[in-house]
A and B are shown apart, each in its own frame.
Chain A
Amino acid sequence: MENYLKDIQDIKKMMDRSTQFISLSGLSGIMAGMYALAGAYAVRVITGEKYKKITLESTEFKMCLAILAGIFILSISTAFILSSIKAKKHGETLWNNTSKRLVANFMIPLSTGGIFALLLINSHHYGLIAPVTLIFYGLACINASKYTLRDVRYLGLTITVIGLVATYAIGYGLEFWALGFGVCHIVYGSMMYFKYDRKQ
C-alpha cells in the first residue's frame, strides 16, 4: 500500500521538479525588504522638508535614483547568491529550463511596468509612478509564481492590492513603496524561509 502512495508522490514530485524552480530563497526576500526600507528611509532623510517638491534636475533626485538603483542591484545579487547556495544544497543547478522560464515570465510584466513608469515620468504624471510600479511588480510576481514556489503568488497579490490602494491615495508614494517593497518582502520572505529553508 505504501508503494502505491509513494508512486503517486514520486510522480507529483517529478512533475513539480520539472516545472518549478524550487531554489528560490526566502532569505533573499527578507534582505530585499530590508534594503527597500533602508532606501526609503534614506530618501526621506535626503528630501526632508522638501519631500513632495523636489525637481527632476536637482541633486536630491539624482541621489534618490542612485538609492533606487542600489536597492535593485543589491536585491538581485543577494537573491542570486542565496538561491545558488540553496540550489547546491538541493543538488540542482541554478540556471536551467525552470529558472529560465521563471525569469522570462517575471521580466515581461516587470519590464512593461518599468517602461510604463518611464513614460509616465515623460508625460509628467508623477503621482502615478509609485502605484504603477507596485501593481506591475505584483502582477509580475503572480505570473512568475507558476514557475517557482507558490508563496510568491500571495506576495504578488498583496503588492498588487497595495498598488491599487496607492492609486486611490495619491501623494503617499514613498510610504506605499516602503509598505509594498519593504514590509511585504520581509513578511513573505520570512514565511518562505521558515516554511522551506529551516527544515534543512
Chain B
Amino acid sequence: MSILMVNEYADFNTLKELLGVTDGNLASHTKALENEQYIIIEKQFIGKKPNTRYMVTKDGRKAFKDHIDALEKLIQKS
C-alpha cells in the first residue's frame, strides 16, 4: 500500500522486487486488498506478454491515511 500511495501505479514485477516476496505471497496479499476494494487490479497484454498493474482506490487511500493516523496517535500516547 505504501508503494501505491506514492506512485500512480505499480506493476507486478516492481512490487515483487521492492517487497522481496514470492509470486504466490504477492498474489494472495493483492487479492485480499482487492477484496476490500482498496486497490484496483488491471490485467493487460503488452505485445504478447501479460502485464498486471495495481492502483490504489479512494477508499484505499482513506484507509491508509487512517492507519497512519492511528499509528501516530499510538506513538504519541507513549
B63 within 8 A of A: no
Pick the contact of A19 from B6, B17, B19, B68 — CB < 8 Å?
B6
A97 within 8 A of B: yes
Question: Could you tell me how many residues of chain A have their Cβ less than 8 Å away from some Cβ of chain B?
Answer: 16
B15 to chain A, nearest CB (A): 9
Most A-side CB within 10 Å, residue of B10, B72, B75 = B75
Contacts of A5 in B (CB 8 A): 75
* Bound Cα distance from A10 to B18, whole angstroms: 12
Instruction: Assess the B5–A15 pair: CB atoms within 8 A.
Output: yes
Interface residues of A (CB under 8 A from B): 1, 4-5, 7-8, 10-12, 14-15, 17-19, 93, 96-97
B3 within 8 A of A: yes
Secondary structure at the B interface, as helix, strand, loop or mixed, is helix
A185 to chain B, nearest CB (A): 29
Interface residues of B (CB under 8 A from A): 2-3, 5-7, 10, 14, 17-19, 68, 71-72, 74-75, 78
Instruction: Assess the B10–A18 pair: CB atoms within 8 A.
Output: yes
Q: Given A11-B68, A93-B17, A97-B14, A18–B6 Cβ distance below 8 Å?
A: yes
Pick the contact of B78 from A1, A11, A14 — CB < 8 Å?
A1
B16 to chain A, nearest CB (A): 12
Closest to B2 in A: A14
Beyond contacts A10-B2, A14-B2, A15-B6: 7 other A-B pairs, Cβ-Cβ < 8 A, are A4-B71, A4-B74, A7-B71, A8-B72, A11-B2, A15-B2, A93-B17
Contacts of B14 in A (CB 8 A): 18, 96-97
Contacts of A1 in B (CB 8 A): 74-75, 78
Q: Given A1-B78, A5-B75, A18–B68 Cβ distance below 8 Å?
A: no
Contacts of B10 in A (CB 8 A): 18
